[in-house]
Amino acid sequence: MIKALILIISVFLLVLIESFFLRVFSFSIFVIVVVSIYKRVEDSWVFLLIALMGIALDTVLHMPLGLHMVILGVLLLFLKILWVVIPRGSNLGYFALLMFFASYYLLLPIGKSLIQDSVFPEILPNLAVWTLVKGIVSIGVCIVVDRFFTSLRDSNEGSSIRLR
């Protein structure tokens, strides 16, 4: 019961923060959260969060319903395959994340245009550069989150949390 309540409250807070960051900085916190908790939390909770947040974001951002869920589902499968080739813990693992973030930021407007207007949008060089910049910023935030998670864990016991 407590987990469900925490999930519902976190969905509302994440929608609020996501809307703010999309309007001000033009990048997605939701995707960073999904990648950060993927394979650290049970898959059922991750996919439930993706479903709830995907529907909420599609509604708030006036996008076709289910677009976020489809794009994230395909990209998480792609990321899982990339992590087999490039281990997640290595420094090159961030290159796989860069490809994930850049693909997300590129597929979102393409998917919206294809579903709503039935037209493949023109991909201009400034869109590709802006997508790469947003991917690099997302990688920076993801690195900070990863460092934060590793600083919470005690070096002797991986399951206990250090409070000093």
pLDDT at 158 over 60: no
- What integer pLDDT is reported at residue 155 of this predicted model? 56
pLDDT at 156 over 60: no
pLDDT at 163 over 70: no
- What integer pLDDT is reported at residue 159 of this predicted model? 54
Q: Is residue 37 part of a domain?
A: yes
Helix (H, G, I), strand (E, B), or coil: what is residue 119?
coil
pLDDT at 157 over 70: no
Q: How far apart are CA 13 and CA 7, in angstroms?
A: 10
Q: Is residue 102 part of a domain?
A: yes
Cα angle vertex 89, ends 156, 42, to 5°?
80
pLDDT at 36 over 70: yes
pLDDT at 142 over 70: yes
Alpha helix positions (H), 25-92: 29-37, 43-60, 67-85
Q: Is residue 25 part of a domain?
A: yes
| Total structural domains within the chain | 1
75 φ, ψ (degrees, to nearest 5): -70, -30
- What integer pLDDT is reported at residue 162 of this predicted model? 52
- What integer pLDDT is reported at residue 89 of this predicted model? 76
- Both tokens of 162, joined, read 């250090």
Residue 25: pLDDT band with limits 50, 70, 90: confident
- Both tokens of 156, joined, read 């002797």
The DSSP letter of residue 120 is P
Specify whether the CB–CB gap between 86 and 77 falls below 8 A.
no
Residues above pLDDT 90, as percent of the chain = 33
Q: In sequence order, which residues have a C-beta less than 8 Å from that of residue 154 and are 6 or more positions away?
A: 160, 161, 162
pLDDT at 74 over 90: yes
Residue 80 amino acid letter: K
Residue-range definition of the domain harbouring residue 62: 2-152
Q: Is residue 163 part of a domain?
A: no
- What integer pLDDT is reported at residue 139 of this predicted model? 92
Specify whether the CB–CB gap between 66 and 58 falls below 8 A.
yes
Q: What is the mean pLDDT of residues 104-128?
A: 91
Residue 101: pLDDT band with limits 50, 70, 90: very high
- What integer pLDDT is reported at residue 132 of this predicted model? 92
Q: What is the mean pLDDT of residues 143-159?
A: 71
Specify whether the CB–CB gap between 6 and 119 falls below 8 A.
no
